[in-house]
């Protein structure tokens, strides 16, 4: 009894500490640990974070938590509004600030909308209807938080076991989109279906939310057996560690001839459950080759770019996110590396002379949203170097 009292005191203290923010949808002083929910309103991530401390701090560092505040997105959305009118704002925010579908606040004034893709949106989501691309989310907003833990029990809120949360369909409402011209602008989910059809057995969560050592809830609130949680950072193309898992590259043949150095490279998508790159057609992966010799000042270079090229109604390529998703009418080409695919690339580098050569092949992830270097993401994530010595010639 005394112990219980002590626990309650700690909890009350915890809430006083954290009750400073003005959160919509939850009351602040909760002596009996019961959260109160305002019907039809989502609860802010900070409230969830008072107990789910570890998950909250990792989520805060995720791109989902910055999907609205991300300045690259903001600039693209303003461009889209100029090009396509106010309806573009509603459209972009549906995925980048999905709480708008509940709060109806398209001016981004409500903190719940500013927080991007928050806890309560994902844990109130109970289904995805891809046949309705304009409104794919099935939400059950209220006291029940849905998740993957079968025997979860909480005094703070009701819990609902949800197998849906362990399935890739949970992610598909935002990571798959066919626009009004019938073009699949975001196709990560359908690429994943191809991967699954050819024997791939991992879900989005298994690759992007691996189990890590942490506490599901603050042990002061409840001691839960086993100390693993799903990583809520969800690293992707902006993470070198994640990129390194995607493609394997090998120089499998090197030959010197009259015309130069012949290089054969093998590429394999062995680690991504979708094409590489995936997501918006503005993402690119570049394979660069370079042949250098000690005597020669400038190395000889060549490159190949993997991307999906989308055209507008005038047949012009669209390069910016602000137009891609609305104005894309046709996919002109797509040479990305599909899931499980192996690709052979051949190069002839016109080097001259009889010296020793150093051949280097590098893979780079490139996202250059506004054609300005300061907004560019450029990550070298794999490289192999081989020497071609002069005496190998004959
Ligand atoms: C006062 C503490 C507290 C607060 C605040 C809180 N939770 Fe929980 N939550 C718990 C406890 C305790 C559990 C049970 C853990 C267990 O038994 O494994 C839990 C479990 C969960 C689960 C797992 C359910 C399942 O069946 O898989 C989810 C999801 C969840 N909470 C989401 C949220 C969200 C979203 C918020 C904010 C709206 C939130 N929680 C706020 C204490 C809290
Ligand atoms: C983009 C959607 C998304 C967001 C945002 C999100 N979660 Fe989750 N969460 C999930 C999914 C999916 C799982 C289940 C993963 C699995 O089991 O494969 C999960 C699992 C959980 C669990 C169960 C324990 C575990 O790790 O499996 C809790 C508790 C939880 N989330 C709380 C939170 C809290 C608190 C936040 C905000 C700080 C949050 N989630 C944000 C999708 C999300
Ligand atoms: C409500 C919409 C929504 C849902 C649901 C959602 N995402 Fe996202 N996701 C986004 C948006 C928007 C971004 C881009 C944010 C940015 O970079 O500004 C994103 C970015 C990502 C990234 C890229 C990170 C990087 O480094 O580039 C990954 C990986 C990702 N999401 C995985 C998932 C997984 C896995 C799930 C399901 C468990 C999921 N998402 C569910 C909207 C969503
Ligand atoms: C077998 C593991 C695996 C599976 C399954 C998987 N991914 Fe990925 N994902 C990766 C790797 C590795 C990368 C990094 C390479 C890249 O950017 O393509 C990545 C990158 C991403 C990106 C980054 C895009 C960018 O350029 O910023 C997003 C978004 C993403 N995945 C979403 C998903 C979604 C949604 C699913 C499920 C439909 C999924 N992934 C399934 C391994 C996986
Ligand atoms: C159907 C959901 C959806 C809609 C609608 C949507 N986006 Fe996105 N957006 C995403 C997802 C998912 C990502 C992250 C991964 C990727 O590349 O697929 C993303 C990524 C982005 C990025 C890249 C952020 C970065 O720094 O990497 C920009 C910019 C962007 N979106 C702009 C927009 C604009 C502008 C609109 C409205 C015209 C819009 N988006 C509409 C889902 C959506």
Q: How far apart are CA 259 and CA 279, in angstroms?
A: 39
Query: 118: CA distance to ligand 2 center in Å?
Result: 10
Q: Count of CB atoms within 10 A of residue 258's CB?
A: 5
Q: How far apart are CA 69 and CA 215, in angstroms?
A: 28
Q: Which residues of the chain have pLDDT under 70?
A: 1-32, 295-296, 391-394
Angle at 337 between CA 311 and CA 205, to 5 degrees: 100
Contact 120, 26 (CB under 8 A): no
Model confidence pLDDT, tens digit, residues 261-288: 999 999 999 999 999 999 999 999 999 9
Q: How far apart are CA 164 and CA 203, in angstroms?
A: 11
Contact 366, 285 (CB under 8 A): yes
Mutate to test the pocket of ligand 1, among 125, 159, 219, 229 (most ligand atoms within 8 A of CB): 159
First-to-last C-alpha distance (Å) of the chain: 88
Residue 293: per-residue pLDDT: 84
User: pLDDT > 70: what percent of the chain?
Assistant: 90
Q: Whose CA is nearest to atom 9 of ligand 1?
A: 154
Q: Give me 120's structure tokens.
A: 């309560």
Ligand 2: which residues within 6 Å by Cβ? 45, 48-49, 52, 55-56, 59, 64, 117-119, 122-123, 147-149, 165-166, 170, 205, 209, 216, 229-230, 232
Q: How far apart are CA 311 and CA 330, in angstroms?
A: 5
Query: 304: CA distance to ligand 5 center in Å?
Result: 25
Residue 296: per-residue pLDDT: 67
CB contact set of 348 (below 8 Å; sequence gap of 6+)? 259, 260, 261, 262, 263
Longest dimension (CA), the chain: 89
Contact 311, 297 (CB under 8 A): no
Contact 15, 220 (CB under 8 A): no
Q: Count of CB atoms within 10 A of residue 17's CB?
A: 9
Q: Give me 137's structure tokens.
A: 């989310």
Backbone phi and psi for residue 310, each to the nearest 5 degrees, phi listed first: -115, 135
Query: 52: CA distance to ligand 1 center in Å?
Result: 7
CB contact set of 16 (below 8 Å; sequence gap of 6+)? 29
Contact 370, 73 (CB under 8 A): no
Question: How far, in whole angstroms, is CA 63 from its chain's centroid?
Answer: 7
């Amino acid at each position: 009894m005394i112990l219980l009292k002590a626990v309650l005191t700690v909890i009350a203290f915890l809430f006083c500490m954290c009750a400073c923010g003005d959160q919509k949808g939850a009351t602040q002083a909760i002596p009996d640990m019961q959260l109160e929910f305002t019907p039809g309103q989502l609860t802010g991530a900070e409230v969830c974070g008072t107990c789910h401390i570890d998950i909250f701090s990792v989520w805060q560092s995720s791109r989902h938590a910055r999907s609205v505040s991300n300045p690259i997105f903001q600039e693209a959305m303003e461009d889209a509004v100029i090009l396509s009118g106010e309806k573009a704002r509603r459209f972009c925010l549906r995925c980048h600030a999905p709480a708008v579908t509940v709060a109806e606040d398209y001016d981004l004034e409500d903190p719940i909308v500013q927080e991007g893709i928050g806890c309560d949106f994902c844990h109130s989501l109970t289904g995805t209807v891809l046949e309705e691309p304009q409104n794919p989310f099935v939400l059950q907003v209220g006291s029940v938080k849905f998740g993957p833990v079968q025997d979860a029990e909480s005094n703070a809120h009701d819990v609902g076991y949800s197998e849906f949360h362990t399935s890739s369909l949970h992610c598909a409402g935002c990571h798959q989109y066919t626009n009004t011209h019938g073009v699949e602008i975001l196709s990560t989910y359908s690429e994943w279906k191809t991967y699954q059809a050819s024997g791939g057995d991992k879900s989005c969560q298994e690759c992007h939310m691996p189990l890590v050592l942490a506490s599901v809830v603050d042990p002061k609130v409840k001691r839960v057996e086993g100390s693993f949680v799903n990583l809520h950072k969800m690293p992707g193309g902006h993470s070198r560690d994640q990129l390194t898992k995607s493609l394997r590259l090998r120089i499998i043949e090197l030959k010197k001839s009259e015309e130069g150095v012949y290089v054969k490279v093998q590429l394999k998508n062995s680690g991504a459950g979708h094409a590489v790159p995936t997501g918006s057609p503005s993402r690119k992966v570049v394979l660069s080759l370079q042949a250098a010799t000690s005597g020669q000042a400038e190395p000889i270079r060549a490159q190949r770019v993997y991307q999906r090229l989308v055209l507008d109604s005038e047949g012009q390529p669209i390069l910016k996110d602000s137009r891609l998703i609305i104005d894309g009418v046709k996919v002109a080409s797509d040479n990305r590396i599909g899931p499980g695919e192996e690709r052979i690339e051949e190069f002839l580098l016109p080097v001259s002379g009889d010296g020793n050569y150093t051949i280097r092949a590098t893979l780079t992830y490139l996202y250059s949203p506004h054609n300005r270097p300061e907004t560019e993401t450029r990550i070298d994530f794999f490289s192999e170097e081989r020497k071609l010595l002069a005496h190998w010639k004959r």
